Amino acid sequence: MDNFYKQGRGVWSPAPEVASSSVEGTNSAQADPVQALRQLSQPVFVIAKPSQWQKQSLPFTLVNHGQVRFPAQPARPTSGTVASDTTSGTNSNTANLCGPTAPNSSSTQNYPLLAMAPPVTPSTLGETDFRNTYGLKYACLSGSMANGIASEELVCSMAKAGMMGFFGSAGLSLEEVRQHIDSLQAKLEQPANSGVPVNQGRPQTAPAVLPHGFNLIHSPSDPQLEEKLVQLFIAKNVQNIEASAFLGLTPALLHYRYSGLKRNSDGTVYAPHHVFAKISRLEVAQKLLAPPPEDMLRNLVEAGKLTPQEAELAQGLPAASALTAEADSGGHTDNRPALGLIPAVINLRDRMREKYGWYVPVGAAGGIATPQAAAAAFAMGAAYVMTGSINQACQESGTCDVVRGMLAHATPADVMMAPAADMFEMGVNVQVLKWGTMFPVRARKLYEIYRTYPSFEQVPPNLQSQIERDFLRTSFQEAWQSTQAFFQKRDPRQIEKALRDPKHLMALVFRSYLGQASRWANAGVPERRADYQIWCGPAMGSFNQWCKGTFLADVKERHADLAALNIMAGAGYLTRTALIGSQGVKLPPQWCSFAPLPYQEIASLLQESSSVF
Ligand X SMILES: Cc1cc2nc3c(=O)[nH]c(=O)nc-3n(C[C@H](O)[C@H](O)[C@H](O)COP(=O)(O)O)c2cc1C
**Nearer Cβ to ligand X (420/505):** 420
The minimum distance between CB 430 and ligand X, in angstroms, equals 9
- DSSP per-residue string spanning 451-484: HH-SSGGGS-HHHHHHIIIIIISS-HHHHHHHHH
Asked if 226 interacts with ligand X (CB under 6 A), we say no
87 binds ligand X (CB under 6 A): no
Interface with ligand X in residues 366-425 (CB under 6 A) = 366-368, 386-389, 392
The reply on whether position 170 binds ligand X by CB under 6 A is: yes
Q: How far is CA 281 from CA 47, 334, 378, in A?
A: 46, 8, 20
* Count of residues that interact with ligand X, criterion CB under 6 A: 29
Regarding 242 and contact with ligand X (CB under 6 A), the answer is yes
Residue whose Cβ sits closest to ligand X: 388
Applying CB under 6 A, does 331 fall inside the site for ligand X?
yes
- Does 508 bind ligand X (CB under 6 A)? Our answer is no
C-beta of 146: minimal distance to ligand X in Å? Answer: 3
Query: Where on the phi/psi map is residue 357: left (φ > 0), alpha (ψ -120 to 50), or beta?
Result: left
> What burial class does residue 276 get, using C-beta atoms within 10 Å of its C-beta: 0-12 exposed, 13-18 middle, 19+ buried?
buried
259 or 329: whose CB is closer to ligand X?
329
Residue 533 touches ligand X, criterion: CB under 6 A: no
CB 175 to ligand X: min, Å? 18
Contact 453, 545 (CB under 8 A): no
**Which residues are 262's β-sheet partners?**
270
- Write the single-letter amino acid at 251: P
113 versus 408: smaller Cβ distance to ligand X? 408
Residue 434 binding ligand X, by CB under 6 A: no
Cβ 164 to ligand X, closest distance in Å?
Answer: 12
| Smallest separation, CB 369 to ligand X (Å) | 6
Binding-site member from 168, 251, 318, 361 for ligand X (CB under 6 A): 168
Among 113, 117, 306, 536, binds ligand X (CB under 6 A): 536
Residues with Cβ within 8 Å of 257's Cβ and at least 6 positions away in sequence, in order, are: 271, 273, 275, 292, 314, 317, 319, 321
Indicate the residue among 329 and 575 with the shorter CB distance to ligand X: 329
Pair type for strands 113-117 and 44-48: antiparallel
Question: CB–CB of 182/202 below 8 Å?
Answer: no
Encode burial over 548-579: b for 16+ CB neighbours within 10 A, e otherwise.
Answer: eeeebeebebbbbbbbbbbbbbbbbbbbbbbb
* Minimum separation from the CB atom of position 171 to ligand X (A): 7
Q: In what order do the strands lie in the sheet with 429-433?
A: 331-332, 429-433, 415-419
Question: DSSP string of 292-336?
Answer: PPHHHHHHHHHTTSS-HHHHHHHTTS-S-SEEEEE-S-SEE----
Q: Does 149 bind ligand X (CB under 6 A)?
A: yes
Pick 39 or 144: Cβ nearer ligand X: 144
Q: How far is the CB of 329 from ligand X (least distance, A)?
A: 3
| Binding to ligand X, residues 451-490 (CB under 6 A) | none
Rule CB under 6 A: say whether 365 interacts with ligand X: yes
Q: For residue 9, how far is the Cα from the chain centroid?
A: 38
Question: Is residue 535 involved in binding ligand X (CB under 6 A)?
Answer: yes
Binding positions for ligand X, rule: CB under 6 A: 143-146, 149, 168, 170, 215, 217, 242, 244, 278, 326, 329-331, 365-368, 386-389, 392, 535-537, 539
